[in-house]
Structure 1
Amino acid sequence: MKSRPVGPGPLLVLLVLLLLRAASVRGVQRPRRYTPDWQSLDSRPLPDWFDKAKFGVFVHWGVFSVPAWGSEWFWWHWKGEGLPQYEQFMSDNYPPGFSYADFGPQFTARFFHPEAWTDLFQASGAKYVVLTTKHHEGFTNWPSPVSWNWNSKDVGPHRDLVGELGKALRKRNIRYGLYHSLLEWFHPLYLLDKKNGFKTQYFVRAKTMPELYDLVNRYQPDLIWSDGEWECPDTYWNSTEFLSWLYNDSPVKEQVVVNDRWGQNSSCHHGGYYNCQDKFKPESLPDHKWEMCTSIDKLSWGFRRNMVMGDIASECEIISELVQTVSLGGNYLLNIGATKDGLIVPIFQERLFAVGKWLSVNGEAIYSSKPWRIQLEKNTTSVWYTSRESAVYAIFLHWPENGVLNLASPVTTSTTQITMLGIQKDLKWSTDPEEGLLIYLPQLPLFTLPIEFGWTIKMTGVH
């Protein structure tokens, strides 16, 4: 007589099904899966750490830091366009036959100390840092397995620059973003795909996508700052396939944030948050999370040996842009270029320290803030508003001559309290039917105030 296999009885199976259904009803459901199309990918909620962060530092660093002249597009201007001033620069400074690849060994990073960089970034008040892992020149700042002899482990520093900085930032709980260019100007496979009208994808399959997957699995970034997308549609880059993997199955699927540069016409339309374009400044409050990326050196993103003080954004310009950006719901990503040795020059350090000093007093009005119902009050003092929980902040960029700040937008109540960040005591105020709220600023010499410009009024009990 054969023994019958023992299995669950019909009643037990029914009971399990009922329990599963009950769990589903209570909200215990499988995580959502995103399909490789923009409609699905764009529906993913942006992880909230990014909106709370508000301020980040961008670092452009690569082989272009060796000539350190013109801009980080040196190779393209020299060989892609053949601009006469670049030809002249090379003939004046380098021997005949010197190629761009010959700059590689001179990219030494000899004085790159990731802990020192991180000290600076922390002092600046930055909540995230974005490092160039690969610019359009194709040189990778990590040992990319598909960039043989054109990476920072094989050539130049003989170090994993991406990994070293990541470790230092993680110790300080600063979020880590990786900039990555999809295209490479002179890669033979990219040029072949271009010749084929981008109907083939030799370069994408052999280089771009393997590198993106490697960066995510190896370094687990909080942010991917994509660039170099403009010559081809997202279908050429396989962007939606990559992003669906990133959001569904990658080791950073919960916290990772991406920008909008994933193919022609995706900028300002698809992706995570929007950059729209370099140095983008909206006139009014956008309906989508955005970031302004700009550079302390107004003429370049990479370090230039030939920059002069007139090319450098002032403290006042930087603070004003930061305030305006955050008031309009954006993040402010401020760029510096590092030298071939891995140094951040003093003028860049000075500007970052200045931002940090300002944020140490006014950060309450910036970090984790939300746009208020009014963003800008166009009067002689240029007042920008932010809000956080029950508080409203008015940041004014010009000190009124009579020492009285006039605000038309806030409506006071019986519980209104008004202070200035960095000053201990409450401020006196009154209301006027025609002029609105009048705030009597501290009668102090300006040089005794904790900051020199961009002062913040904190108001509670207003609407």
Structure 2
Amino acid sequence: MTGTHRESLPGWVKEASLGIFIHWGPYAVPAWAEPEHVAGEPEPEGGWFKHCSYAEWYANTIRIEGSPAAAHHAEVHGSAPYEDFLDQWKAEAYDPAAWARLFRALGADYVVPVTKHHDGVTLWDAPGSDGFNTVDRGPKRDLLGPLAEAVRAEGMRFGVYYSGGLDWSITDYPPIVEGEDIWRFRPNDAAYAAYATAHVRDLIDRYAPSVLWNDIEWPEAGKEDGSLVDLIAHYRDAVPDGIVNDRWGADVWDYRTSEYSMGADHETGSGWEHNRGLGSSFGYNRVEDESFTLSPRELAKHYADVVSRGGRLLLNVGPDAAGRIPDVQVRTLEGAAAWMTGVKPYTTDRRFPGDAEVTVSAEADNWYRTWASGDKLVVIADRPEAVRVTAPGYETVAIALPEQER
């Protein structure tokens, strides 16, 4: 396959440091997963998938014999078909303009909603998705168009996530129980490749997304027949300054991604993107309280770490079935907003100083990160007044992390 990736990222991407991911689907109705197990960290007994902390994987987890999710599903929902949640999902409180204002207040540069996750439900009337989308059922409307308009009205870029690699609505494979199952139990035939290609082409033509974010590879038939290369070329023509992530299983990407503790080897150089939820799930998990959710201080620290190493943070929110962003998530976003917007002006043109005379040091208990921005040397620390800086030619900007919540 011929490579189609960019030699260099567009200017807006180089200046961006914060994106908002949105996982919203029928899984917001049951809204349940075990929150204790962070992806990429040591697996619990029985394996990650049996104890999956991703609520958006509910349709898979409830099919694993002996999983706590299956027991929960039987007790609370009577083992009803997952598809029933699509009809129960009403999105009656959905206010995309309010979402966009919240994200902009945090200093977000771009917003990437899920348009189809692994359950196969599309959040718009995608070609060939009759009877399994949010226009025909559940919310009974296109959920993407109003969000794209609201996001752009607030001066942010709009992107799209699409699960090209998995679609449980059109396959009858066993549940994914171990990592290798992802690659064994994914549709790779020409019919599915054409179906997914039509979806993504429609997303491009309708919404002109600045970010094209695929997940779990792309069907092999679409790689082999050249349709993936044609699709990416179509995207390049339609959105000349758009960018493509690295999860296609083909050389079409512009930047690398990492997720929670996974893919850390991708966090090198500049222009990479780290994505994670405010808790241990992407989709809304009603079990996640403040103890499982990043505090404003923890969010600030995580953001500073990613920025200092040349990356962007794609931070996820998971709305509930009504369309409300849960209070526990809003608390963190609003609590960090003033700090984040105060730091944002110093994240443009970020780099490590090249001058050998620049040194920054602090005691072990004084966490800090630093980067250069123009003629400024930015120091983020627990106690910036106790950080020792030698930086000829730079003006030092010292910013303290938000205070620890009591």
**TM-score between both structures, scaled by the size of structure 2:** 0.82
Aligned residue for 1:306? 287
Instruction: Indicate if the aligned counterparts of 1:138 and 1:187 stay in contact, CA closer than 8 A.
Output: yes
Superposed counterparts of 1:309-458, under 5 Å: 309-373=290-354, 377=361, 379-380=363-364, 381-396=366-381, 398-399=382-383, 403-407=385-389, 410-412=390-392, 417-418=395-396, 420=398, 451-452=402-403
Q: Distance in 1 between matches of 2:214 and 2:396?
A: 43
Alignment of 1:123 with 2:105, yes or no, is yes
Deviations 1:93-141 (A, max 9, x none): 2246x21111111111000011111111111111111101110000001
Alignment of 1:244 with 2:229, yes or no, is no
Query: Unpaired runs of 5+ in structure 2?
Result: 34-54, 174-182
Q: 1:90 aligns with which of 73, 78, 103?
A: 73
| Residues 411 and 86 (structure 1), Cα distance of their counterparts in 2 relative to 1, 3 Å cut | closer
Instruction: Indicate if the aligned counterparts of 2:378 and 2:396 stay in contact, CA closer than 8 A.
Output: no
Deviations 1:159-206 (A, max 9, x none): 110111011111111111111100334343686xx999977322111x
Q: CA RMSD in A?
A: 3.0
Give the drift of 1:345: 0.9
| Residues 195 and 306 (structure 1), Cα distance of their counterparts in 2 relative to 1, 3 Å cut | closer
Alignment of 1:61 with 2:24, yes or no, is yes
Instruction: Indicate if the aligned counterparts of 1:190 and 1:203 stay in contact, CA closer than 8 A.
Output: no
Q: Which of the pair has more CA radius of gyration?
A: 1
Superposed counterparts of 1:1-150, under 5 Å: 37-38=2-3, 41-70=4-33, 71-79=55-63, 81-95=64-78, 98-150=80-132
Query: How many percent identity over aligned positions?
Result: 26
The AA in structure 2 aligned to 1:321 is: H
Q: Distance in 2 between matches of 1:220 and 1:329?
A: 27
Q: Distance in 2 between matches of 1:236 and 1:94?
A: 42
Instruction: Indicate if the aligned counterparts of 2:270 and 2:311 stay in contact, CA closer than 8 A.
Output: no
State the structure with bigger RCO (CA 8 A, min sep 6), 1 or 2.
2
Superposed counterparts of 1:135-174, under 5 Å: 135-174=117-156
Q: Distance in 1 between matches of 2:316 and 2:96?
A: 17
Alignment of 1:218 with 2:206, yes or no, is yes
The secondary structure found in structure 2 opposite 1:138 is coil
The AA in structure 2 aligned to 1:67 is: P
Q: Distance in 1 between matches of 2:161 and 2:363?
A: 39
Give the drift of 1:315: 2.0
Give the drift of 1:378: 6.4
Superposed counterparts of 1:255-294, under 5 Å: 255-263=241-249, 266=250, 271-280=253-262, 282=264, 286-294=268-276
Deviations 1:222-268 (A, max 9, x none): 10111022885972594333212222x3x21x1111110002xx5xx
